[in-house]
Amino acid sequence: MIVDPFITLGECSSVLVAAGELDISATCWLGEATSQAAETSPDLTLDLSAVTFMDCAALGTLLRTRRELRRRGGVLTLRSPHRSVLTLLRLTSLENAFPIVGMLPA
């Protein structure tokens, strides 16, 4: 189990909770954590409610995770992404690339 300031596994093995800033320095941890969580279940929910910023490097990690899960017949769902994460998805034309649940209030 990977535990660091950015990422912890939740109670359910298919839920990964991220916090803080997901930038290039967090992509290694994010990639390891998503890979480990994806091994336990074909579907993975990434809880982004405590993420305040995400850059394109972290988005690339999510796209790789999405591709790997799809290859196995699974889905990567984003839960409660911060407005800044939604803006990044919109700016990169990826707002429909992931199922999104539990929107945070504006």
Q: How do 44-54 and 76-79 pair as beta strands?
A: parallel
Q: In this structure, what token pair is assigned to residue 69?
A: 């899960």
Question: Which fold would CATH assign to domain 7-101?
Answer: Transcription Regulator spoIIAA (3.30.750)
pTM of the model: 0.84
Residue boundaries of the structural domains of the chain: 7-101
Cα(6)–Cα(22) distance, rounded to whole angstroms?
Answer: 8
Per-residue pLDDT tens over the stretch 6-39:
444 544 447 888 888 999 998 888 888 888 877 7
Per-residue confidence (pLDDT) for residue 14, from 0 to 100:
77
Q: Is residue 93 a contact partner of residue 62, using CB atoms and an 8 Å limit?
A: no
pLDDT, tens digit (0-9, with 9 covering 90-100), for 43-85:
899 999 989 999 999 999 999 999 999 998 889 999 999 999 9
Q: What does the alpha-carbon distance between residue 100 and residue 103 come to, in Å, rounded to a whole number?
A: 7
pLDDT value at 105 more than 60: no
